[in-house]
Structures are given as C-alpha cells and as structure tokens.
Amino acid sequence: MQVNDIKAPYGVRRRRKIVGRGRGSGHGKTSCRGHKGQKAHSPGPKIMLEGGQVPLIRRIPKVGFNSHRPYLCQVVNVELLNCFTKDSTVNIVTLKEKGLIKSLNKPIKILGDGELKKSLLVQVENISKTAQEKIKKAGGKIEAPIRKADEEARVAGK
C-alpha cells in the first residue's frame, strides 16, 4: 500500500449544503428554514430570552463583590529568601533578578512561611509581622526601600 492509495472512508468528506440558489437546487426559496416565524428570520431568537418566564440571570440571587481593580500583591515567603548570599540586600530589583517576582510594577509582600537561615538586609515595603520576627531572629535588618524620587533627589543634592 502506498501513501497515494490511502483514501478517507465514505461519508467523512461531506460537501457543504448550498442554500438559496433557486428552485432547481432543491434548497431554494426558504433555504431549508421552513415558512416564516421567529426561527426562520435572520438573527434568530435571542439566547437569553425565555418567553414570558423570568430569565435565569434574574432568578439567581446576587452574591459577593468583585473589585474591578483588585489590589494584588506578589507574595514571597521568607523560606525563598535563602537563595540569597549572607548579608546581601533584598529589594525589588534583586527579587526580580532571582526570579522570585514577575513584575517590578506590582506591590510585593514578604510573608513568614518557612525558616530563614541567613542574615539579610531587606528593603521591601510590605512585610508581615511573622516575617519581620524571622528576619530579625536570623540576624537580618529591615529598612525602608529606596525610591527613585529619593535617589534622584540625593544625587541632585551632591
């Protein structure tokens, strides 16, 4: 058997129905849609309409609240900070370089899950209380992060 001998089984390759091409085609005049009525017309019935019945979307009660602009922090656990060398600085840039966060533009929060085995200088805005305790217990320090505006003002002052 050769590749050119292989054929699709009968009935698999069906021709598209061509409608509305005159009486001789067998699918003329009403184009297989019957005679008049809601379903015979072009847009057809609206999906959400249920006749006179109250629509399902209105029968079900409204529950909860979803903000259009949720405040989502990038979470980094204390345990993940063990990938840094001893006495190194942990800030937004170094976290991005290590691949612990995805974006420099979204806020970051360090949480206290796991154990920290190295002393580090942490310069991140949001740190949970348990994370602060674990960083200090390991001999590390927590400082306020240096912002671009502060850095530019410091450079301009020199």
Instruction: Say if 84 falls within a structural domain.
Output: no
Buried b (16+ CB within 10 A) or exposed e, 38-70: eeeeeeeeeeeeeeeeeeeeeeeeeeeeeeeee
Q: How far apart are CA 31 and CA 20, in angstroms?
A: 5
Question: 113-142 pLDDT, tens per residue?
Answer: 999 999 999 999 999 999 999 999 999 999
In a domain, 3, yes or no: no
> Quick one: DSSP state of residue 98?
H
Contact 98, 83 (CB under 8 A): yes
Q: Residue 154 — very low, low, confident or very high, per pLDDT cuts 50/70/90?
A: low
Position 28 in a domain: no
Total count of domains within the chain:
1
* 125, part of any domain: yes
In-domain check, residue 102? yes
In a domain, 126, yes or no: yes
pTM, rounded to two decimals: 0.53
Residue 113 placed within a domain: yes
**106 is in which domain, residue-wise?**
93-139
Q: Using CA atoms, how far apart are residues 35 and 41, in angstroms rounded to an integer?
A: 10
- Give mean pLDDT, residues 96-115: 93
Q: Which tens digits make up the pLDDT trace of 11-40? A: 899 889 999 999 999 999 999 999 999 889
- pLDDT of the residue at 1: 87
68 domain residue, yes or no: no
